[in-house]
């Protein structure tokens, strides 16, 4: 079957620049974070474009994961939905997807520019400041357009960037309900601490459709805080998420939490037996000197993981594909992958 994986997210162009810690301080930014732009951050884009280290690279978290999954999967495996402007930035994104073999089903906006993300690099950290622009105007009717809905119907696996929770919850619920009705796989990334913090209700509802939830340690901590959990323990937080209400009773829910160089935690909850399976998987550590930057590392992990799950691999082997792809991506500039392609052995 072609195009088994459908991803939905915010297509963004990354303006990646090297900055000093004092630059982050000036705008009260954390070294490792992702936020939506506020008034006080507006000069950052102009300043980034004037920075001699600036690189324009295809970004958008779910779009990066889509390119990552297609890097591993056979041709014609991944479709990506999101909203862009009619400008040079979206041309660049389209070309990057084409080169990666991802089918872009963009919704084009007449009155908004393609969204952009300033990726401010300090050492091995990245601080992401996003102006969603056109990406903020995605609407569910774009999915329901018969030409596009055909791809939804033919897919067997859905991946939602958690960042899209700020944009079109209805589009997420539409895909979630379809996945539940048809007993298909539905995966969701927590994406950033501000998602569980400020979009708790949308997140909780989206998770009801999900049989895979992916996140990292800071997102898990933010989830714990917003849900009033006492614990900081990643396994306990993953257990809580795994056991949250679920629409499709035919599938167990697995929660996968990465933790930098520490082992990745995976917890599966079976409602049938009311029991958990808890495991930890080591990462593919890379010599620090070989790290180019960590922008997109988590997306690459998600992409590799999805490639494994879509291909029907075991959870262990899918997580290993995620670790492998993350290791490749952090050796490239931004959320990119090496060409000629390397193959997972
Ligand atoms: C809504 N927000 C804040 C965002 C993003 C985002 N993608 C979608 N929505 N903020 C940052 N990113 C993307 O995350 C990638 C790294 O994981 C950046 O474009 C970057 O490529």
Give bridge partners of residue 111 from the DSSP assignment: none
User: Dihedral sign, CA of 295, 298, 301, 307?
Assistant: negative
Kindly report the backbone phi and psi dihedral angles of residue 112, in degrees, each rounded to the nearest multiple of 5, phi listed first.
-130, 145
pLDDT at 133 over 70: yes
Q: How confident is the model at residue 209 (pLDDT cuts 50, 70, 90)?
A: very high
d(CA 185, CA 251) in angstroms, rounded, equals 8
Of ligand 1's listed atoms, the one at least distance from the Cα of 161 is 8
Q: Mutation test of ligand 1: which of 127, 132, 135, 163 has the most ligand atoms closer than 8 Å to its C-beta?
A: 163
Q: What is the DSSP string of 226-278?
A: HTT-----HHHHHHHHHHS--S-TTS-EEEEEEETTEEEEEEEEETTTTEEEE
Binding site membership of 162 for ligand 1 (Cβ less than 6 Å): no
Distance 117 CA to ligand 1 centre (A): 7
Q: Is the CB of 8 under 6 A from ligand 1?
A: no
CB of 319 closer than 6 A to ligand 1? no
DSSP 156-182: SEEEE-GGGGGT-HHHHHHHHHHHHHT
Does ligand 1 come within 6 angstroms of the Cβ of 295? yes
Measure the CA–CA gap between 20 and 63, rounded to whole angstroms.
28
Dihedral sign from CA coordinates of 165, 335, 21, 54: negative
- List residues bridging with 253 in a β-sheet: 269
Domain membership flag for residue 260: yes
* 267-281 tens-digit pLDDT: 999 999 999 999 999
Q: Is residue 22 part of a domain?
A: no
Residues 48-80: b if buried by 16+ CB within 10 A, e if exposed: beebeebbbbbbbbbbbbbbbbbbbbeeebbbb
Using the structure block, give the residue that is written with the tokens 């960590």: 294
Structural domain containing residue 322: 5-10+59-114+133-329
**Domain contains 293:** yes
Handedness of CA 302, 307, 309, 314 (dihedral sign): negative
Q: What distance in angstroms lies between residue 130's CA and the mean position of ligand 1's atoms?
A: 7
Task: Look up 313 and say whether it is catalytic.
Answer: no
Residue 204 has pLDDT above 70, yes or no: yes
Whether residue 215 is predicted with pLDDT greater than 70 in this model: the reply is yes
In Å, how far from its chain's centre is CA 344?
A: 21
Evaluate: CB of 298 within 6 angstroms of ligand 1: yes
> How many domains are there within the chain?
1
Buried (b) or exposed (e) across 232-270, using 16+ Cβ within 10 A? Answer: eebbbbbbbbbebebbbeebbbbbbbbeeeebbbbbbbe
pLDDT confidence of residue 284: 85
- In percent, the amount of the chain with pLDDT more than 70 equals 100
Closest residue by CA, ligand 1 atom 14: 61
> Quick one: CA dihedral 237, 242, 243, 244, positive or negative?
positive
Q: How far is the CA of 105 from the centre of ligand 1 (A)?
A: 19
Residue with tokens 């539940």: 180
1 pLDDT more than 80: no
For residue 280, tell me if it sits in a domain. Answer: yes
Among 170, 299, 313, 320, the active-site one is: 299
User: Does the C-beta of 306 come closer than 6 Å to ligand 1?
Assistant: no
Residues 340 and 71 sit within 8 Å (Cβ to Cβ): no
Asked if the structure places residue 336 within a domain, the reply is no
Pairing mode, strands 275-281 and 262-270: antiparallel
| Mean pLDDT, all residues of the chain | 97
What CATH number corresponds to the domain at position 201?
3.40.1190.20
pLDDT at 112: 98
Whether the CB of 179 sits within 6 Å of ligand 1 = no
Least confident of 28-32, 283-287, 328-332: 283-287
What number is the average pLDDT over the span 160-184? 98
Q: Could you tell me if the CB of 335 is within 6 A of ligand 1?
A: yes
The pair of three-digit structure tokens given for residue 296, joined into one six-digit string? 């997109």
- Check whether 337 has a pLDDT greater than 70: yes
Between the alpha carbon of residue 271 and those of residues 26, 165, 197, the distances in Å are: 49, 26, 27
CA of 35 to the centre of ligand 1 (A): 8
- Position 259 scores a pLDDT of 96
Task: Output the CA 84–ligand 1 centroid distance in Å.
Answer: 14
How many angstroms separate the alpha carbon of residue 149 from the centre of ligand 1?
25
187 is a domain residue = yes
| Confidence grade of residue 265 (pLDDT, cut at 50, 70, 90) | very high
Distance of alpha carbon 224 from alpha carbon 216, whole angstroms: 12
Q: What digits encode the pLDDT tens for the residues 101-128?
A: 999 999 999 999 999 999 999 999 999 9
| pLDDT in the model for residue 345 | 80
Q: What is the pLDDT of residue 329?
A: 97
Residue 47 resides in a domain? no
230 found inside a domain: yes
Q: Tokens 């909850």 sit at which residue?
A: 269
The rounded percent of the chain whose pLDDT value lies above 90 is 99
pLDDT at 31 over 90: yes
334 Cα nearest atom in ligand 1: 21
């Amino acid at each position: 079957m072609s195009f088994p994986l459908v991803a939905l997210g915010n297509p963004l162009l990354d303006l990646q620049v090297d900055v000093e810690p004092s630059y982050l301080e000036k705008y009260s930014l954390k070294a490792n974070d992702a936020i939506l732009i506020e008034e006080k951050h507006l000069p950052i884009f102009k300043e980034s474009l004037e920075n001699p280290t600036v690189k324009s690279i295809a970004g958008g978290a779910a779009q990066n994961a889509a390119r990552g999954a297609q890097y591993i999967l056979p041709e014609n495996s991944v479709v990506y939905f999101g909203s862009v402007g009619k400008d040079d930035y979206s041309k660049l994104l389209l070309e990057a997807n084409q080169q990666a073999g991802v089918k872009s089903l963009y919704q084009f906006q007449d009155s908004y520019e393609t969204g952009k993300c300033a990726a401010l690099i300090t050492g091995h950290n990245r601080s992401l400041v996003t102006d969603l622009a056109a990406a903020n105007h995605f609407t569910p009717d774009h999915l329901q357009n018969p030409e596009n809905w055909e791809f939804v119907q033919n897919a067997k696996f859905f991946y939602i960037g958690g960042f899209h929770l700020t944009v079109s919850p209805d589009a997420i619920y539409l895909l979630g309900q379809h996945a539940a009705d048809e007993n298909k796989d539905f995966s969701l990334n927590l994406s950033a601490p501000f998602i569980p913090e400020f979009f708790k209700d949308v997140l909780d509802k989206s998770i009801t459709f999900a049989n895979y939830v992916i996140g990292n340690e800071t997102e898990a901590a933010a989830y714990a805080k917003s849900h009033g959990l006492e614990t900081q323990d990643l396994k306990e937080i993953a257990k809580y998420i795994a056991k949250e209400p679920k629409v499709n009773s035919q599938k167990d829910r697995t929660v996968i939490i990465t933790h930098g160089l520490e082992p990745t935690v995976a917890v599966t909850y079976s409602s049938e037996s009311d029991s958990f399976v808890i495991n930890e998987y080591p990462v593919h550590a890379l010599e620090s000197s070989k790290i180019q930057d960590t922008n997109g590392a988590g997306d690459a992990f998600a992409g590799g993981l999805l490639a494994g799950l879509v291909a029907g691999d075991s959870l262990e082997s899918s997580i290993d594909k995620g670790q492998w792809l993350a290791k490749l991506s952090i050796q490239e500039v931004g959320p990119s992958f090496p060409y000629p392609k390397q193959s997972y052995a």
